[in-house]
Chains A and B, each alone.
Chain A
Amino acid sequence: MNPRILAVTTGRILRQLRHDRRTVALLVLVPTVLLTLVYYMYADQPAPPAGPSTFDRIALVMLGFFPFIVMFLVTSIAMLRERTTGTLERLLTTPLAKADLLFGYGIAFGLAGAVQAAVASAVAYWVFGLDTAGASGLVIMIAALNAVLAVALGLFCSAFARTEFQAVQFMPVVVAPQLLLCGLFVPRGEMAGWLQAISDVLPLSYAVEALQEVGAHAEPTGTMWRDVAVVAGAAVLALVLAAATLRRRSG
């Protein structure tokens, strides 16, 4: 890996994103619109007898979802384009190392995810009065980490798609089970044993638990740091797998 090549590659990816103003606008605005929907959905519902309000519980987890879902899709398509337009083949004939490209995507879209999470968090805290015991900075950090995880998974999955239609289909395959089993809909402890076992190997479960820890505790807890480490480890693993799908020679 070469720091200069990594830097110019990250810059190139961000520049591509910047030229696509509509995508940038959607990235920033859609989470706010969805948070608004959720806020009014629960506005007239009776508050639960104990624990956080329903909006607080759901909004906190949603802040982690947005970058995960969006960055997975964006990365899958971006990497598929690199493969289909021949830029990837060309890049691999230059001094660029595979890690320069993969980490370039991780940093660029990780930053984009962080910006998205920061805007959505600002709206959630200031407009809709989201209340967490822990710091909002930790929420944004976990959301950004989710973005990096999603980028890594997207880079890996793009290797198995030939067309953009196929790439989009990986979204329900990779993302939906993680959403369903992460503990938002049914607490993980109350699921059947085999569902818990699946939930235990899905990285998003740990991201959601980390967010819930921030919601419930004023100071970062050991559980939260452990969860953060698990998510980071999963991202690194997915990047390694993605590197294995990048072949300099093909048939």
Chain B
Amino acid sequence: MDDAIALRDLVVDRGRRRVLHGISCAVPRGVVAGLLGPSGSGKTTLMRAVVGVQVVTGGTVTVLGRPAGSAELRRRVGYLTQAPSVYADLTVRENARYFAALHGRSRADADRAVADVGLGEASGQLVGTLSGGQRSRASLACALVGEPEVVVLDEPTVGQDPVLRADLWARFHELAAAGTTLLVSSHVMDEAARCDRLLLIREGRLIADDTPAAIRAAAGVTDLDEAFLRLIRANETGAAVGAGAHGTTGGTGREAS
């Protein structure tokens, strides 16, 4: 029971539409887990369920051994929403210091978090005057400033320049090495290779849950993009997926039956 995040048969409806069709998976502690899938596949809904802000229709979401969204988790889980959720009429530093204070961290911690996302020089600037990429990094600083044990990041690297993107991924791995668990969503496949584990979802169903190497091996190709394509095709035809027992998940099997 040392999983940081565990989903069991998670079903989510939004309005009349079923967005997640019974997803089961687990993310062990201290890894960077990538949540991949096309736009509209349910990534954000899954992340919101993990953070505990999503109304859930069925199944359970357990984070650090507790039901997602329980009061005690609020100081142990950090969340980066897809659209930067920082105050446009405050400076980067003021934003970071506010979120630091909510988590009982110092001003120095806040300034360090700002520097860590490469905004040290822009820290006195109003967030409203920043570029889109800078704004989303300001938001990221606010998600990391509380040094949470579980970090849920919804597309943190969109719009970032390649050098910064590499820096951010290095930072994520540093955090994981120190014991933090990160769930990072992306729709860019070249980022998938940087993750310790991958969760591929499509149309609200989990298609793969494994390490990048195992997914490549299972699909018999070296290119992850191609491997995912094969998994999706195999899944659609209902045939046994090449990845076998560890490549597919219970969630998908249950849906099919």
Q: Which of A4, A86, A93, A249 gathers the greatest number of chain B CB atoms within 10 Å? A: A93
A-chain residues with CB within 8 Å of residue B69 when the two chains form the complex: 248-249
Partner of B87 from the list A5, A8, A87, A89 (CB cut-off 8 Å) is A87
Known A12-B98, A94-B99; judge A249-B52 contact (CB<8 A).
yes
Instruction: For chain B, residues 102 to 150, give those with C-beta under 8 angstroms from any C-beta of chain A.
Output: 102-104, 126, 142, 146
Query: Is A19 touching B89 in the complex (CB atoms < 8 A)?
Result: yes
A-chain residues with CB within 8 Å of residue B246 when the two chains form the complex: none
Question: Interface range on chain B: under 10, 10 to 19, 20 to 34, or 35 or more?
Answer: 20 to 34
A-B contact count (CB 8 A): 75
B55 close to A (CB within 8 Å): yes
B183 close to A (CB within 8 Å): no
A-chain residues with CB within 8 Å of residue B101 when the two chains form the complex: 4-5, 8
Partner of A250 from the list B53, B77, B86, B90 (CB cut-off 8 Å) is B53
Query: Is B79 touching A90 in the complex (CB atoms < 8 A)?
Result: yes
Closest to B51 in A: A93
Query: Is A87 touching B89 in the complex (CB atoms < 8 A)?
Result: no
Complex: A126 Cα to B14 Cα, angstroms: 60
Closest to A251 in B: B55
**B183 CB to nearest chain A CB (Å):** 14
B85 close to A (CB within 8 Å): yes
Known A90-B79, A95-B74, A251-B14; judge A85-B85 contact (CB<8 A).
yes
B-chain residues with CB within 8 Å of residue A94 when the two chains form the complex: 74-75, 99, 102-103, 146
Query: Is A249 touching B81 in the complex (CB atoms < 8 A)?
Result: no
B-chain residues with CB within 8 Å of residue A45 when the two chains form the complex: none
B-chain residues with CB within 8 Å of residue A12 when the two chains form the complex: 87, 90, 94, 98
**A140 CB to nearest chain B CB (Å):** 28
Query: Is B81 touching A90 in the complex (CB atoms < 8 A)?
Result: yes
Query: Is A20 touching B89 in the complex (CB atoms < 8 A)?
Result: yes
**A48 CB to nearest chain B CB (Å):** 47
Complex: A249 Cα to B48 Cα, angstroms: 9
Query: Is B126 touching A19 in the complex (CB atoms < 8 A)?
Result: yes
B41 close to A (CB within 8 Å): no
Instruction: For chain B, residues 69 to 85, give those with C-beta under 8 angstroms from any C-beta of chain A.
Output: 69, 74-75, 77, 79, 81, 83-85
3 pairs of A and B residues whose beta carbons are closest in the complex = A86-B85, A8-B101, A90-B85
Further contacts, 19 of them, CB under 8 A, given A12-B94, A19-B126, A249-B52? A8-B98, A9-B98, A85-B83, A85-B87, A86-B83, A87-B87, A90-B142, A91-B102, A93-B52, A93-B79, A94-B75, A94-B99, A95-B74, A95-B75, A95-B103, A95-B104, A248-B69, A249-B53, A251-B55
Interface residues of B (CB under 8 A from A): 13-15, 51-55, 69, 74-75, 77, 79, 81, 83-90, 94, 98-99, 101-104, 126, 142, 146
- Can you list 21 residue pairs at the A/B interface with Cβ under 8 Å? A5-B102, A9-B98, A20-B89, A85-B83, A85-B85, A86-B84, A89-B53, A89-B81, A89-B85, A90-B81, A90-B85, A90-B142, A92-B53, A95-B74, A95-B103, A248-B53, A249-B69, A250-B53, A250-B54, A251-B54, A251-B55
